[in-house]
Amino acid sequence: MTNGTRIGLGSALILALASACGSSALPDPAAPEASGSPSSSAAPPASSTPPPPAPKDASVPDTAPPPPKAIRFVAMGDTGKGNDGQQRVAVAVETKCKNDGCDFVQLLGDNIYESGVDSADDPLLQSRFEQPYAKINVPFWVVLGNHDYGGNGAGTSFGKGKNQVDYTAKSQKWKLPSNFWHRTVENVEFFALDTNLIMFGRDDDQKAQIPQWLAASTSEWKIALGHHPYLSNGPHGNAGRYEGIPGIPVVSGGSMKSFMDDHVCGKVDVYISGHDHSSQWLEDKCKTTELIVGGAGAEGTELSARNKSYFQTNALSFFYIVIQGKKLTAELVDETGNMLFSRSITKP
């Protein structure tokens, strides 16, 4: 067999195999090359999962300010009766502080009935303060009331207030650094007045120092604390007309009204007081200052409609106040732990 014959037979064999497998099994060498197939030319489907975030550069400091810390405290006054009412309110305060947290308790005067204490070792400090509040493990900040100055509430034993100041050194929780004081907690500054001495015109030191403290304060919130109210729907009534008797400053509270008008009203955000044994948030203000009365820590007395109020009650109760950033919220809680009322104010 010649070479030409072998080549011819090879070509015939290839053509026979192609015919058996189908004409499309072998490409036509003369056909143009396809531009692509679906598997090679279609775009890949879009993924529904977003790409992971870029890792944080630890060398770049986080400049976002932290959220403001909340301040939580109880305010109540006229507590020192040593009676069943004081005990019941104490249990409600203990429960509230355990459930929601308390940084401190603020007492609003008349801490020890009927006539204060005779020394820093007076047993009444145990029976009217330490024992009722033994399970509330936070500081108790204190202001003085008329009963703390003796005379069964006449408030004329002017040396007696110092005995409660001196007790600060003997107690783990009682905080009364002076008969009037100020302190700052986070973005709040508190200004505690000795309103009993203001009532008697024995307030030259307060007239000198309170305005200086207020002028120097850079705190976002300013809260004044005292025993005697500026306005009240209780039996004692409004400053300048206490007991319904105008004209005699030491009785009517004319000195108290003048002090508030000159040095406090419009310079603090809130004034919290006691004296009348009820809980009130008045609608009327002292210029721009909100007015709260919280003297129902041991007993309740009758209320009138003398002044408009957002809410008032003579039920045994206390205020639970939370301040965070630009917002202040006060809840009124009764002796059973029920919230009777809540109101918030927010700074612009």
Q: What is the DSSP annotation of 126-150?
A: IIIIITTTTT--S-EEE---GGGGS
Where in the sequence is the domain holding 89, given as residue range(s)? 71-346
Is 342 within a domain?
A: yes
Distance CA 181, CA 104 (A): 16
Is 57 within a domain?
A: no
Is 11 within a domain?
A: no
Domain count for the chain, please give it: 1
| pLDDT at residue number 49 | 64
| pLDDT at residue number 65 | 80
Distance CA 310, CA 228 (A): 20
Note the pLDDT tens digit of each residue in 238-295: 999 999 988 887 899 999 999 999 999 999 999 999 999 999 999 999 999 999 999 9
Distance CA 143, CA 157 (A): 16
Residue 83: CATH number of its domain: 3.60.21.10
| pLDDT at residue number 64 | 78
DSSP state of 16: H
DSSP state of 223: E
Note the pLDDT tens digit of each residue in 219-238: 999 999 999 999 999 999 99
1 C-beta neighbours (distance < 10 Å), count: 7
Looking at 38-123, list the stretches that DSSP marks H as alpha helix, in order from N- to C-terminal side.
38-41, 84-100
Pairing of strands 174-175, 181-185: unpaired
Distance CA 237, CA 293 (A): 11
Note the pLDDT tens digit of each residue in 178-199: 999 999 999 999 999 999 999 9
- Indicate the pTM of the whole model: 0.82
242 C-beta neighbours (distance < 10 Å), count: 25
142 C-beta neighbours (distance < 10 Å), count: 26
Is 36 within a domain?
A: no
| pLDDT at residue number 31 | 42
- Do residues 191 and 224 lie in contact, with contact meaning Cβ atoms separated by under 8 Å? yes
Distance CA 107, CA 75 (A): 6
pLDDT lower than 70: segments of the chain: 1-51, 53-58, 60
| pLDDT at residue number 248 | 83
First to last CA, the chain: 110
| pLDDT at residue number 193 | 99
Sheet with 181-185, side-by-side order of all strands:
181-185, 188-192, 221-225, 270-273, 290-294, 279-282, 309-313
Is 55 within a domain?
A: no
Is 41 within a domain?
A: no
Amino acid at 171: S
| pLDDT at residue number 50 | 65
| pLDDT at residue number 48 | 58
Is 48 within a domain?
A: no
